[in-house]
Amino acid sequence: MSQAHDQDGVPPDLARLFPGVGADLEEDAPFVAEGLGALHATLDAEGPSSAVSSLPTRVRWGLALGLVAGVVTMVLLGTRRADFEVYPRGRMLLDLGLLLGPLVLALVAALRPLSRPALSTARRVQWVALGLLCLAVSWALPAAHALHPASQAGVGPVFWAQAGSCFVFGLSFAAFAALALGLLSRNGPTRWFPSALGVWAAGLTGLVALYLHCPITELGHLCAGHSTVAVPVLALVLLLRGRVDG
Amino acid sequence: MTTPATDESLMALYLQGDRAAFDALFARYAPKLRTMLARRISRRDDVADIVQQTFLQVHRARKDFKVGAKLRPWLYTIAMNLARQYFRRRGRRPETGLGEHEPAERGREGDPERRAVAAELRAVLAELPPPQREVIELHWFEGLPFKEVAVIVGASESAVKVRAHRGYEKLRGRLAGAVTGAGGAGYGRKRR
């Protein structure tokens, strides 16, 4: 290792060129007074919801994971899929892993505080790509079974009714999760990437709820009733992006 | 003579609900942050806005602050992240307003030789890879020790030293003539 690595100071030959750089600053009373006034006004205007977003990050992460666990428990106890007993357990774990893995990553990134070093662009791309890959694999897997009559429903005259019902079911959970995550989030409208990840996580929560609820394995139903939950989610992400860029 | 309160003791007071301690931190760091941001962002309103946002986030994230940790790198990490978002939104890299907003550089604007070197430094800095440039800006311009720079950029101290060394070498190479003119060697500038 060269000498420069072991020293804490600026190379003096460079420092001598710009002796003023890094010097202590003059007092700037007007800037401080004006800034403090505006800051106090903003802090005083913060609503009660800021009490939730101000919780320590570990607590917010815990609450977010608890929210997902709550959704899973609620659906399993209340409206679990009719073919639950015959569904191969290994396959179910794989399917849930492909949804919950990206969901947890999205939650962690969405609630990551600004006081931690930012995720690199490469890491962001990796996480988004991994999430999309998991979803693609999840959709590409063949039907786990055809042993239950409920799995064959949702075709014919009831196609749109069943698809619409699933869409509303999934979207309800997604909207509930989005609201809850919105309370936990400290992101302003200018932080589009973590906000978008929050929306993405909410959408995945809706898909998890749908997966545990709906026994229909017919591809058309999955496309029309389940995948479409992504449409309003994507619209919201694009809207966020547009607001930030605009 | 009373010793000024440390950043950490002020933060501890603020965590107990003392808003005056928060105001004292703002008075201490808002001008420093403004100068740091003004080196990168030319629009003064945007700079003031990011300073505001930084302290707003300090307030919102106050319960994340670990008692016993250093406040300064924590604060600078927030400001740097907000600055990165600002540039990401605008799809461009930071400007290098070196000397433009630096009080200590005022009065030298008439020195054509120094202005030429400053312009060259700006150009060379702009060519550095962002990780090296960021480390040099924090280490040299903000006067932060490598240990704190490492916390801010989320890398190990040794990695940060390597980045700084490489960046300084490039600067030295490009500014060779001016550096020779400035003379002398030997480290040891005292860190704040």
pLDDT value at position B36?
Answer: 87
User: What structural domains does chain B harbor?
Assistant: 8-95 (1.10.1740.10), 109-181 (1.10.10.10)
Which residues of chain A neighbour B152 with C-beta distances below 8 Å?
117
Count CB pairs under 8 A between chains A and B: 176
Over residues A93-138, the pLDDT tens digits come to 999 999 999 999 999 999 999 999 888 888 889 998 999 999 899 8
pLDDT averaged over every residue in chain A: 85
Instruction: Give yes or no for B15 touching A (CB within 8 A).
Output: no
Cβ separation of B179 and A13 shorter than 8 Å? Answer: yes
- pLDDT bracket for residue B192 (50, 70, 90): very low
pLDDT of residue A213: 95
Q: For position B35, what pLDDT does the model report?
A: 86
Interface of B with A in 25-84 (CB under 8 A): 26-27, 30-32, 34-35, 48, 51-53, 55-57, 59-65, 74, 77-78, 80-82, 84
Using CA atoms, how far apart are residues A158 and A179, in angstroms rounded to an integer? Answer: 31
Question: Between B111 and A53, where is the model more confident?
Answer: A53
Query: Which ipTM score applies to this complex?
Result: 0.78
Q: Average the pLDDT over B116-127 and give the result.
A: 77
Q: Choose the closest CB to B30 out of A6, A31, A55.
A: A31
Q: Is the pLDDT of residue A7 over 50?
A: yes
Location of structure tokens 């072991």: A6
Instruction: Report the distance separating Cα A107 and Cα A21, nearest Å.
Output: 41
Task: Report the chain A residue with the minimal C-alpha distance to residue B73.
Answer: A115
Instruction: Give A57's contacts in chain B (Cβ within 8 Å).
Output: 61, 64
**Which of the two residues, B178 and A165, has the higher pLDDT score?**
A165
Q: Is the pLDDT score of B185 beyond 50?
A: no
Q: At what angle do helices A192-213 and A230-245 cross, to 10 degrees?
A: 170
B188 touches A: beta carbon within 8 Å: yes
Q: Is the confidence at residue B80, as pLDDT, over 70?
A: yes
Taking each helix axis as running N to C, give the angle between helix A57-78 and helix A159-184, from 0 to 180 degrees, rounded to the nearest 10: 160
Which residues have a Cβ under 8 Å from the Cβ of B125 and sit 6 or more positions away? B96, B98, B133, B136, B137, B171
A113/B191 Cβ within 8 A:
no
The residue ranking higher by pLDDT, A45 or A201, is A201
Closest by Cβ to B142, choosing from A13, A15, A22: A22
CB contact under 8 A, A16 and B183: yes
Q: Contact B26/A43, CB-based, under 8 Å?
A: no
Average pLDDT, chain B: 81
Mutation pick from B15, B33, B136, B165 vs chain A, by most beta carbons of A within 10 Å, is B165
Token pair for A245: 């860029």
CB contact under 8 Å between B59 and A43, yes or no, is yes
Query: pLDDT of B158-169, one tens digit each?
Result: 999 999 999 999
Q: Sorting pLDDT into bands at 50, 70 and 90, what band is B100? A: very low
pLDDT of residue B142: 87
Retrieve residue A117's tokens.
């070093």
pLDDT in the model for residue A70: 97
Q: What is the pLDDT of residues A26-53, one digit of tens each?
A: 556 777 888 888 888 888 888 777 889 9
Say if residue B5 is exposed, middle or buried (CB neighbours under 10 Å; 0-12, 13-18, 19+). middle
Q: Do B81 and A118 touch (CB under 8 A)?
A: yes
Whether B56 and A244 lie within 8 Å, measured CB to CB: no
Q: What are the pLDDT digits (tens) for A71-100?
A: 999 999 999 999 999 999 999 999 999 999
pLDDT for position B101: 45
* Smallest CA–CA distance from A6 into chain B, residue: B161
Chain B CB contacts of A31 under 8 Å are: 30-31, 34, 48
Interatomic CA distance for residues A70 and A74, integer angstroms: 6
Q: pLDDT category, B190, cuts 50, 70, 90?
A: very low
Identify the pLDDT of residue A113.
92
In degrees rounded to 5, what are phi and psi of residue A56? -55, 150
pLDDT above 90 for B55: yes
- Indicate yes or no: CB of A17 within 8 angstroms of CB of B179: yes
